[in-house]
Amino acid sequence: MDKRILAMTAIERLGKGGLGHFVNGEAITGEGEVFPILEPATGQVLGEGHDATEAQLEQAVAAATAAFPAWSATAPEKRRKILNRVADLIVERAEEIAAVECLDAGQCWRFMSKAALRGAENFRFFADRAPGAADGLALPTMDHLNYTTRKAIGPVAVITPWNTPFMLSTWKIAPALAAGCTVVHKPAEWSPYSARLLVEIAHEAGLPAGVFNSVNGLGETTGRRLTEHPDIKAIAFVGDSSTGSAIMRQGAATLKRVHFELGGKNPVIVFDDADLEAALDAVVFMIYSLNGQRCTSSSRVLIQRNIYDAFVNRIAERARNLKVGDPFDPATEVGPLIHPRHFAKVSSYTDIARSEGAQIAAGGAPVEGSEGYFFQPTLFADAEQGMRIAREEIFGPVLTAVPFEDEADAIAKANAVDYGLAGYVWSRDVQRVLRVSEALDVGMVWVNSENVRHLPTPFGGTKASGIGRDGGDWSFDFYMETKNIALSRGTHSTMRLGV
């Protein structure tokens, strides 16, 4: 079937009468305020979503709370089986999921077809680790046998952004379910449809009612109520740094455990001894793929002065050559931005770049003749690290190039931002690579590589880029409480009081 028709058919079915919620194993009709859901490539209204009412949000949290005792006590082998089945069904419906992402999030088919499968891998990875999730350590002393064990923390909230909605949702929800937690998910209001597919698939795979609930709505209402709810024990949040701060405040009264994956202004440092062809491919890929709406995007390229002009020219040439257009066209490399508000934000940086004295080496303007939110792949050159274009997260197909003199200058510039998500280092000098990687104040460094995710490794950022790590056992540590149990060997003597 034509992919666009496939997506339209799915969205019509999911959003009949307005996109509602999925609570306690069934779809419930939306009753709250209505918000429009737009198609980024055309600006047309795809459908409407309903902000959850207070009663509906209450219903979702109550379902997750009621389902928690049985799900957390379910044999981990059974959890493994169900979650692997979720992965199987994601694979079976990968084309439909990818098509919905193209239509609803404006992401290009060439990337989304893989992203849906990555969602399945996320489920499989954590499903297979469910049997070991409670495992702890033996920490014996002469007098006591101490051992640790873990148990699921309780019902948790998962709040996700709009950029690659399906993949990111699976990344948070799969480990929560594998650990034995129950979930209330609130996807982003700008691209909510694939989240509904996920919750449907999970139930088709045999997940018991109430274990995974999905509520739609706005951040300020549904999101806020969810994070303030006393029965929610932890909040896994992916989104903007300022929203992370708000959520921390909202969760403070009920002492929520939080895990934040937030924004970034990730440096790619290109030294003059690097494999420049490979570095160029990686720089271009990491900023212009996913429409530049990627948290780990290489949004700043720091280039050693003696190769700066030539390297900038080559990026500019590539940027001008990128194929911008219909996300469903397999040849398209850059699609539209998600929403008119985001489009206005990204567009505003061209004037900022000019006023700060940077050069517009490529792009810098909306794509003419389009109804959608298409922005030209853009390169700001000759920037200084203090400029806003080199410090702020733009979150579009917009790259800022800054020259540097030597290793110390590169490190100082790389670290001179509020963010600390990822860093990329390009050099053939092994010792320099080691020094720079260790000096970067970020959560993840890729050396001579673009971002290649390996699920057992920790993912997350420092400073304003986040709190906590995902991946491998780090995910379980967030969704579980660790308990130490100390058994006396009967060999120690207790101090006797009141004798």
Residue 290, token pair as written in the block:
């996913």
Task: Give the residue, chosen from 261, 326, 333, 392, that forms a contact with ligand NAD under the rule CB under 6 A.
Answer: 261
The least CB distance from residue 4 to ligand NAD, in Å, is 24
**Is-contact 153 233, C-beta < 8 A?**
yes
Nearest distance, CB of residue 323 and ligand NAD, angstroms: 24
Euclidean distance between the first and the last CA atom of the chain, given in angstroms as a whole number = 85
Give me the catalytic one of 39, 121, 261, 393: 261
Q: Is residue 264 at the binding interface for ligand NAD, with CB under 6 A as the rule?
A: yes
Instruction: Tell me the closest approach of the beta carbon of residue 240 to ligand NAD, in angstroms.
Output: 3
Binding mask 146-185 for ligand NAD (x = CB under 6 A): -------------xxxxx----x-----------------
Residue 25, number of CB atoms within 10 A of its CB: 17
Provide the minimum distance between the beta carbon of 155 and ligand NAD in the complex, in angstroms, as a whole number: 16
- x/- binding map, residues 449-478, to ligand NAD, per CB under 6 A? ------------x----x------------
Q: Give the start-end residues of each E strand in 113-225.
A: 144-152, 155-159, 182-186, 212-214
Q: Which is nearer to ligand NAD, 140 or 230 (CB)?
A: 230
Q: What minimum distance in Å lies between the beta carbon of 186 and ligand NAD?
A: 6
60 in Cβ contact with 32 (< 8 Å):
no
Q: By CB under 6 A, what part of segment 408-447 binds ligand NAD?
A: 421
Q: What is the CA radius of gyration of the chain?
A: 24
Q: Is 327 in the site for ligand NAD (CB under 6 A)?
A: no
Q: Is 51 in the site for ligand NAD (CB under 6 A)?
A: no
- Identify which of residues 8 and 218 has a Cβ nearer to ligand NAD in the complex: 218
295, 392, 393, 450: the catalytic one is 295
Whichever of 299 and 378 has its CB closer to ligand NAD, that residue is 299
Report whether 99 contacts 432 (CB < 8 A). Answer: no
In 132-205, alpha helices (H)? 165-179, 193-204
- Residue 295 appears among annotated catalytic residues: yes
Contacts of 237-246 with C-beta under 8 Å, sequence gap 24+, read 237/157, 237/158, 237/159, 237/261, 238/159, 238/160, 238/161, 238/168, 238/172, 238/262, 238/295, 239/159, 239/160, 239/161, 239/188, 240/161, 241/393, 241/418, 241/419, 241/464, 241/465, 243/219, 244/466, 244/467
Residues in touch with ligand NAD (CB under 6 A): 159-163, 168, 186, 188-189, 218-220, 223-224, 227, 238-240, 243, 246-247, 250, 261-264, 295, 393, 395, 421, 461, 466
- Give catalytic residues, as residue numbers: 261, 295
